[in-house]
Structure 1
Amino acid sequence: MKEQIKIAIFGLSLNIQDSIKQKIVQMYDDTLQINWVSIGDQEMDILLVNDLFFGSSAIQNLVQTKKIPYLRLVTDEQYSGSIQGDTLYLPFVLTDQIRVWFKDRYLKVPVRDKAARSPRVQAQAGDIHKVIHAFFNECNGTIQVFDGNGNMALMNTKTEQVWLDPDRKIKGTDHSLNYTYATMQMTQSVSGMQGLDLRSWLWNTLWYSTDLIKDVSVSTFYQLEYWPQTDTILERLDMYKIAACFEKGANVLQVQAKTGLSKEKIKKFVAVALLSQAMKAISAEDASLIGREVVEPKGRLKALLGRFRKKDKSAQIISI
């Protein structure tokens, strides 16, 4: 039976991961089997992690408590293929230095003192709009969603379902939000399990993500494309009032005048709706709120509330 080594790569795009994996495989002969694992594997031998996520609690637990040999990955073509302190510079190029490091880790040679570290090269967060757009691209299949605080969820972009990471305690996220393609093992772990609605999960995640909420114009006209399902009961009625206005097409000032709600709350609603692709900007001519009632008749609002309460009671939160 072949000897095995388990290696995890965290926080990189699928294409970059595949390139690194191919080169690492070339370093070992056929007597050794390389198993690519997630950061949750209890028998991990080596961890390669995007420097952007090194400070997260999940990663720190691995390197500080469990003492997993690791390298922080930083992109800098000037130093490509070199290891300085605990940092490996990308693009990944097979060099004697890299071969020695991986051989030493496989042979359990103690990791050298990391006190003398190389200057940090700031890793860049991905474009948040591109990341969220990818959530709605069904061609992406099942993906692993994460940020600087660790794993968030598995997501099936085709069925628009989300399975939460049970260890995730933080509701919101920030500009480090990103994704990578899930392994077959991850996909199989949620097979046959009902997940959360992607759009509802995204809305509620962004609602608590203060770093991502940008200021919006109060005079631009917007139209809601689908109603949000908030997980905060106290906020729900206000959200439905705002949604009913924007469903017809309106601007922030009009909605404020019609509902009596604060301008800041309405602007936050718009910011989250735009980011989650639940709303679009329209021309003033296409807006029809003015001249009509503010919100839908009370009967419809009550019916909507009743409908969403039923959904809340029947929804099953499935965690990975």
Structure 2
Amino acid sequence: MNKQYINIAISGLSIHDAEELKGQLSNIIDNKFNIQWKTATDINLDCLFIHENFFDTEGIQRILNNKSFPWLKIAKDNSLSGKLENNTLYLPIQSTQDLNQWIDQHIIHNDFTPPLDEPVIPLKKTAQSILNSDHPYTESYFKAMYNIDEGHHKLYISDSQGALGVIDIMQNLVFCNPERKSFETDFSFNYEFASTSHLIKASRKDSHILQDWIWNLFWFSPNFYQIAPEDGHYRIHFWPKPQDKEHRKQIFQMSACFIQGAKMSKISEQHNIPINTVRRFIAANMATGNLSKINIWDNHYNPPEILDEKPEESMIKSFFGKIRRKFGF
């Protein structure tokens, strides 16, 4: 490399493990380069160390598809301590011999090609993803966000405007960034394991129920309607708690339908709701993990039957209704 600094990201590790790895890397690299610690989404990234549980997520695969740079998966195994096998470095590091050799080959001398036995997985392109620069925001992306083990349950969420906050999966809470002005996000939304520097950006005093907050964040980010399919049969599992007073009636109408299971285009037609508003509703529920695809033959919402009564029949029913109320029948 011709520069005097190197941008390195460590993502997905606990605070203790990340600090251990940073210390080892600093000892090896500092005499050659000045290290600048970055996030995994930094456009100038030169090297990435990622927890093995996150390597196959669409967000990480998207990063590795966009730029070729050295990376290692990180795992924990006391019996393999310090070893580097199959592009995986095992913690804790008792011997730095393998790591030294890897850094010397791939960073100091910049000799890197993607390993043949760990290919970067091409992202599938859909009509929606092409429109939005191969966005990774599928149901599996959000399911992975909530599927965190007990040792790594705090995630830092951010976008191009900076920190949104820290979410705690175990407590089902989000701690917001008090300096954030706008309550919306865009197609730069990303998450990673929270480090110490991330935690200080979130306020313990400004906390919210995780699912409610995420639902509203994506509802107030209307461009995300594009991540939802144009049509389909879905069921939601719980009622959202919308903060949007202007569209609250429509949101509750859609909730009442999709809690029973419904087809998107049918709800749009029956309730005169624009299809992109229905897609926006589905997208917000995707982001919350509050959505299941159902089969066409499963139970669905059925609109109430409207009886085609003749005017005189309606007048007679109304007359007898008044009589019953008056005399207490």
TM-based fold match above 0.5: yes
* 1:12-91 alignment runs, 5 A limit: 12-14=11-13, 21-27=22-28, 47-50=36-39, 52-54=41-43, 72-73=45-46, 89-91=69-71
Picking from 155, 164, 168, the partner of 1:143 is: 155
Q: Which amino acid aligns with 1:254?
A: K
- 2:244 aligned partner, one-letter code: T
Give the corresponding residue for 2:178.
166
Instruction: Give the Cα separation in 2 of the matches to 1:185 and 1:252.
Output: 42
Task: Note closer, same or farther for the CA distance 1:248–1:171 as it changes in structure 2 (3 Å cut).
Answer: same
Amino acid at match of 2:71: P
**Amino acid of the structure 1 residue aligned with 2:295:** S
Choose from 261, 273, 293 the match for 1:261. Answer: 273
Q: Tell me whether 206-215 or 147-156 shows the greater mean CA deviation.
A: 206-215
Identify the residue that residue 223 of structure 2 maps to in structure 1: 210
Residue 254 of structure 1 deviates from its aligned partner by 2.3
CA distance in 2, matches of 1:233, 1:160: 25
Residues 8, 47 of structure 1: 8 Å contact kept? yes
Q: How many residues align?
A: 224
Any gaps of 5 or more consecutive residues in structure 1? Answer: 1-6, 30-44, 55-70, 76-86, 100-123, 295-320
User: Where do 1:173-192 residues align within 5 Å?
Assistant: 173-183=185-195
Q: Deviation at 1:253?
A: 2.8
Deviates more, 1:13-22 or 1:151-160: 13-22
Which AA in structure 2 matches 1:47? Q
Q: What is the alpha-carbon distance in structure 2 between the residues aligned to residue 288 and residue 168 of structure 1? A: 41
Structure 2 match to 1:132: 142
- Asked if the contact 1:145–1:178 (Cα under 8 Å) also holds between the matched residues in 2, the reply is yes
Using the alignment, how far apart are the partners of 2:201 and 2:161 within structure 1? 22
User: Counterpart of 1:299?
Assistant: none
Aligned residue in 1 for 2:240: 228
Kept in 2, the 8 Å contact 1:222–1:280? The answer is yes
Q: Report the residue type matching 2:278 in the other structure.
A: I
Once the two structures are TM-superposed, the CA of residue 238 in structure 1 deviates from its matched residue by 1.0
More off after superposition, 273-282 vs 12-21 = 12-21
* Aligned amino acid, residue 151 of structure 1: A
8 Å CA contact retained: 1:142, 1:155: yes
Superposition TM-score, scaled by structure 1 size: 0.55
Decide whether the 8 Å contact of 2:225 with 2:277 is kept in 1. no
Shift of 1:91: 3.1
Distance change >3 Å, CA 203–CA 130, structure 1 → 2: same
Question: In the aligned structure 2, how far is the partner of 1:194 from the partner of 1:167?
Answer: 11
1:261 and 1:91 map into 2 onto residues whose CA distance is: 47
SS at structure 1 position matched to 2:156? strand
Distance 1:252 1:88 in 2: 40
Q: Secondary structure at the match of 1:284?
A: coil
CA 286–153 in structure 1, closer or farther in 2 if over 3 Å, else same: same
Shift of 1:235: 1.2
Contact 1:53/1:150, CA 8 A, preserved across alignment? no
Alpha-carbon contact 2:138-2:227 (below 8 Å) kept: no
Please tell me the residue identity of whatever aligns with 2:223: T
Computed over aligned residues only, the root mean square deviation of the Cα atoms, in angstroms, reads: 4.2
| Partner secondary structure for residue 46 of structure 2 | strand
Name the TM-score, length of structure 2 as normaliser. Answer: 0.54
With over 3 angstroms needed to count, the CA separation of the structure-2 counterparts of 1:186 and 1:214, relative to structure 1, is: closer
SS in 2 for 1:151: strand
Find the residue that maps to 2:262 and give its secondary structure: coil
Q: Which has the larger radius of gyration?
A: 2
Q: Which amino acid aligns with 1:23?
A: Q
Secondary structure at the residue paired with 1:267?
helix
Deviations 1:41-72 (A, max 9, x none): xxxx9632257435xxxxxxxxxxxxxxxx74
| Contact 1:53/1:148, CA 8 A, preserved across alignment | no
For each residue in 1:168-190, what CA deviation from the matched residue of structure 2 results, as whole angstroms up to 9, or x when unmatched?
A: 23433344332222235765887
